[in-house]
Amino acid sequence: MTIRPIRSDEDYQSALEQAHSLIVRHDKRSIDDLEVLQAVIEKWEKQHHGIEGATPAQAIHFRMNHLNLSPRDLIPYLGSKSRVSEILNGQRQPTVDQIRALNQHLKIPVRSLVGSAKHEPATRQSSASLAAAKRLRALRMMKPTESLSSFVSRANIVAPAVAMLRKTRTERTNAKTDLSALEAWCAAVLLRAEQVSVKQNVKVVDWEAAARKLAQVSANDRWHDDLKKTLNGFGVVLIILEHLPGTYLDGAAMRRADGTPVIALTLRHDRLDNFWFTLLHEFAHVACHLSGETPIILDDLDVASDDKVEKQADRFATDALIPEKIWARVTEESRSEDLLAVAEEAGVHPAIAAGRWRFQYSDYRRFSKLLGPGQVKAALTAE
């Protein structure tokens, strides 16, 4: 890649596009090119947009405008809707953890986020770790006197994949994540998975057909009874383990020590549309991405990602739930009866069609009654 000085707004936009493509690459040359390109971009921003002297709120607004982001898109990095509003309005300065998240995911220069104002202290990782340990003890997964590190070490004996976690985090992991709490969650999942009997060495010839079959379980009145049976037929273990403090997860795909694929879900968002998309997203990772080098893939689906693996999993899940040829007749003007008809033709629950429409058209006011709020945890409880 040839990196040139920026001399116009057109050059600046081109440089941003180059940086966007380099962010998802991990080879040494791309990393070096990105570092040089960021220096060129930041020099232009300093000279022509004054971002370095701006307040943190102005710096965030500046990047939001270039990336076409809404305040809702910042929730995974800053916290609640009210916290996002306070930071964007300059009423509250971002914490160190939030600065790290904004820099990692949105590539806002750290010095632009620090500003001259006093910032809140960083959230100590130990706080989330202690809270996660307390919850695991309440779930009787950790011994009363066991430390988090001892628990993870115990899990490593039967589930070596946990030791690979620090090398296998994907672009869909929230920058605010407490890694110790995350390791503990993965360890707990794999310990539970070791206790589950499942068909061994299943050869799935057509993963896309398998995904369609799995998606159509959603239309069954007793879907929660059929779900594990269907996954078992594909040789896949399903584990439900709640979201722990500091983990920021919707789901994960991983392998047991014997190579058996495991799908783990947190049920963090208790809606049918979210549940089925997350399930099929992790099923895509099982079908396409898990390997000896990548035994664990973690997903916070509130975090947007241009990572190739994540985009492929999103497309796989979307097509499995409602094939494009069926979805093609849906428009922004579609009504409830239109979505019900599409869901019936696809053989899936109406919540799936409603959730896809809301996401595609960024209108989260419509079709709320079709989403199945509160129905997932009521049907699926932690093992």
pLDDT tens per residue across span 112-133:
776 554 444 444 445 778 888 8
Give the pLDDT score at 49: 57
Residue 55 has pLDDT above 70, yes or no: yes
- 180-230 pLDDT per residue, tens: 888 889 999 999 999 998 888 888 889 999 999 999 999 998 999 999 999
Residue 173 has pLDDT above 90, yes or no: no
Which range, 49-63, 174-188, 246-260, 292-306, has the best average confidence (pLDDT)? Answer: 246-260
- Neighbour tally for 59: CB within 10 Å: 25
Give the pLDDT score at 37: 80
Give the pLDDT score at 383: 45
Residue 151 has pLDDT above 60, yes or no: yes
Give the architecture (CATH level 2) of 9-114: Orthogonal Bundle (1.10)
- 56-87 pLDDT per residue, tens: 888 898 888 888 888 988 888 888 888 898 89
For the CA atoms of 70, 71, 74, 75, the dihedral, rounded to the nearest 10 degrees, stands at -130
- 348-358 pLDDT per residue, tens: 999 999 999 99
In the DSSP assignment, the letter for residue 258 is T
Q: Phi-psi category of 253—alpha, beta or left, where left has phi over 0 and alpha has psi -120 to 50?
A: beta
Which residue intervals of the chain bear CATH 1.10.260?
Answer: 9-114
The Cα 106–Cα 112 span in angstroms is: 12
Distances in Å between the Cα of 35 and the Cα atoms of 42, 315, 363 are 11, 30, 37
Residue 331 has pLDDT above 90, yes or no: yes
Which range, 3-7, 56-60, 300-304, 353-357, has the best average confidence (pLDDT)? Answer: 353-357
The Cα 263–Cα 250 span in angstroms is: 11
Give the pLDDT score at 125: 41
> Which residue would you say has higher pLDDT here, 172 or 297?
297
> Which residue would you say has higher pLDDT here, 327 or 52?
327
In this prediction, residue 382 has a pLDDT band, given cuts at 50, 70 and 90, of: very low
For 72, the enclosing helix (H) or strand (E) is none
The Cα 133–Cα 21 span in angstroms is: 39
Question: Average pLDDT in the 294-303 region?
Answer: 85
In this prediction, residue 360 has a pLDDT band, given cuts at 50, 70 and 90, of: very high
User: What would the DSSP string read from start to end of 315-359?
Assistant: HHHHHHHS-HHHHTT--TT--HHHHHHHHHHHTS-HHHHHHHHHH
Type of residue numbered 264: A
What does pTM read for this prediction? 0.70
- 99-109 pLDDT per residue, tens: 877 887 888 88
Give the pLDDT score at 330: 95
Give the pLDDT score at 161: 64
Percent of the chain, pLDDT > 70? Answer: 86
The Cα 34–Cα 346 span in angstroms is: 43
Give the pLDDT score at 123: 45
